[in-house]
Amino acid sequence: MIQIILYTGIILLSWSLFGNCQQNKADSILISISEKEIIEYATKLTSAEFDGRLSGSPGYLKSAQWIASKFEEWGIKPMGDNGSYFQYFDNAYTKVFDSGSVSYQFINEKVNIVEKKYHFPEEYFPGQNSGSGTIDGELVYVGFGITAPELGYDDYEGIDVKGKILVFEYGLPVNGENKDIEKWVPYDYHQYKFKNAIAHGAIGWLYINKLANPNTSYNYDIVYAHIGDEVVNDIFNASGKNYKEIRENIVNNLKPNSFELIGKVTITANTKHFEDSKSCNVIGMIEGTDPTLKSEVIIIGAHHDGVGNLGKLLPSALDNASGVVDIMAAARMLAQSPVKPKRSILFIMFGGEECGLLGSTFYVNNPKFPKKKVVCMINLDMVGNGKGLALWGGESYPEISKHFTYANTHFIRRTMRTSEARPVKTRPRTDGAVFTMNGYKSFAIGTTDGVKPVYYHHPLDNVDALTPDIMVDVAKLIYFGLLGVANDDEL
Ligand SMILES: [Zn+2]
């Protein structure tokens, strides 16, 4: 019964959103949402003006200003530092001026010495925190680049890498199911691998996994790049090694297998590091209308930083202009909605996610509301490609997620998948995980059944990689779901 009363206002509203009932024109303008609006925001965020929104860079800060200007236009209250929308934190970044170069000199089948130059983005990506300059040298494969004596594992044992260029793997040789996974996690960080390589005397490296990644450390004298299958296969084939088999054996036996490779590599990078730069979260709020309940807050967030520009713009559309746009459209509707929330709703557009979850970590350490007053935190990351909807982790908080499933069943009618929240045992990969680890109820809204190819951390992650119709529905889902939670008297 209470449920029915609770939704009455929203159902009436849904008629004005989706139905044909008569109403005045102003209302229909205020609470409608279109693909046009979605595309407009997404086009702006992914434009060259914001230079790929690398956290801490001038382009990022400009995009933060733009979001804040929209919040202000819609009457959303600033909740950052000193009455502004911005919550600042330290965020060093590296400007990459061009895509640099990677080439490999080796002896081919015809016993000729050849030099093969590779292409960005097809075969390699420049290191996003590479030092500037050119290095050349001999190559050593060091597996996962890990020295973990307490786990009886050392990729550097018995091999001299001083003055060499290393080739090593992303990730860990174990997965989340391993009984010692928690002990392995510190070795999963790129920053750790870089430090360990430097400690062993390397001058640079080729990191196996071809993508843009600012979540690394800058080291003045080190030059590095990320490589894909083509480069890996060339190097291993020229050395008479079967790459796939070698990697599989390391993982299956948990036994390092490091060795010198044949040939020489040259890597060039053209960069400048900005050590003292700052980035920010953009925070706005719609204050609740109930004198008591307004002290309780629902947080919804998405990272709005991207992976910048590597000599080619990385528009960072699906990851994660999509999440930001979904929330912006919902925030605009909520701000202009005739149905008002009793509880408060806090919108956080995080910075520094791609640099290692810096913005969300800073927020949980410097919250704007006491944790016990936060009903839940809902995260959106890569939410704009597909046909279905999802509430990842939502099953663990049915009292909250039921409002979203209800909205979908009654108004949106997409297939919706749900799952239970899982404890974070591996390296946290999303802002939502940072909230979970800090004791918040957190779940994620997602899109499923992708209809377009996903270009993760790639120049082709542009507006064409989005499906605006699902984003319209995600914005509606947020709008109805948040109103349901905010006005639930039983919570
Ligand atoms: Zn992301």
* Domain CATH number, residue 373: 3.40.630.10
Q: Which residues of the chain have pLDDT under 50?
A: 1-9, 11-12, 14-30
Same domain, 34 and 111: no
Centroid of ligand 1 to alpha carbon of 381 (angstroms): 5
In the reported structure, the alpha carbon of residue 29 is separated from the centroid of ligand 1 by a whole-number distance in angstroms of 32
Predicted local confidence at residue 11, as pLDDT: 47
Same domain for 352 and 472?
yes
Nearest 5°: the CA angle 61, 65, 69 is 170
Residues with CB under 5 A from ligand 1 (ion): 319-320, 381
Q: What are phi and psi of 349, to 5 degrees?
A: -100, 105
Same-domain check for residues 102 and 128: yes
Query: What pLDDT is stored for residue 423 in this prediction?
Result: 84
Total H helices, total E strands in the chain: 13, 21
Per-residue pLDDT at 20? 36
Q: Tell how far the Cα of 352 is from the centroid of ligand 1, in angstroms.
A: 10
Same domain, 44 and 150: no
CA distance 21 to 329: 23
C-alpha of residue 104 to centroid of ligand 1, in Å: 32
Q: Per the structure block, which two tokens stand in for 285?
A: 């709020």
Which of 272, 297, 314 is a domain's end point? 272
* 281 shares a domain with 268: no
| CATH code of the domain containing 145 | 3.50.30.30
Q: What share of the chain is helix, strand, coil (3-state, %, to 5)?
A: 35, 25, 40
Contact 466, 447 (CB under 8 A): no
Q: How remote is the CA of residue 445 from the centroid of ligand 1, in Å?
A: 13
pLDDT score recorded for residue 12 = 46
Residue 410 domain-assigned (yes or no): yes
Distance (Å, rounded) from C-alpha 154 to C-alpha 57?
Answer: 37
Tokens of 73: 């236009």
Residues 12 and 137 in one domain: no
Same domain, 126 and 18: no
DSSP 260: E
The confidence score (pLDDT) of residue 221 equals 92
Would you say residue 52 lies in a domain?
yes
User: If you measure from the C-alpha of residue 50 to the centroid of ligand 1, how many angstroms do you get, rounded to a whole number?
Assistant: 17
Q: Is there a single domain that holds both residue 170 and residue 205?
A: yes
Residue 491 placed within a domain: no
| 15 and 105 fall within a common domain | no
> Rounded to whole angstroms, what are the CA distances from 65 to 41, 58, 280?
14, 11, 10
**Ligand 1 center from residue 481 Cα (angstroms):** 22
Among the candidates 243, 272, 301, a domain finishes at 272
Look at residue 4 in the predicted model and tell me its pLDDT: 42
Q: Which domain holds residue 297?
A: 2-91+277-486
Q: Are residues 435 and 355 in the same domain?
A: yes
Structure confidence at residue 31 (pLDDT): 65
What is the count of structural domains for the chain?
A: 2
Helix (H) or strand (E) holding 481: helix 468-486
The CA 318 to ligand 1 mean position distance, Å, reads: 8
Residue whose C-alpha is closest to residue 104's, from 96, 94, 114, 112? 114
Ligand 1 centroid, distance to 485 Cα (angstroms):
26
Give me the pLDDT at residue 21, please: 38
Contacts of 324 (CB under 8 A, 6+ apart): 41, 45, 67, 302, 303, 304, 349, 380
Cα–Cα distance, 407 to 330 (Å, whole number): 14
- CA–centroid distance, residue 380 to ligand 1 (Å): 9
Name the strand (E) or helix (H) holding 107: strand 101-107
Same domain, 178 and 266: yes
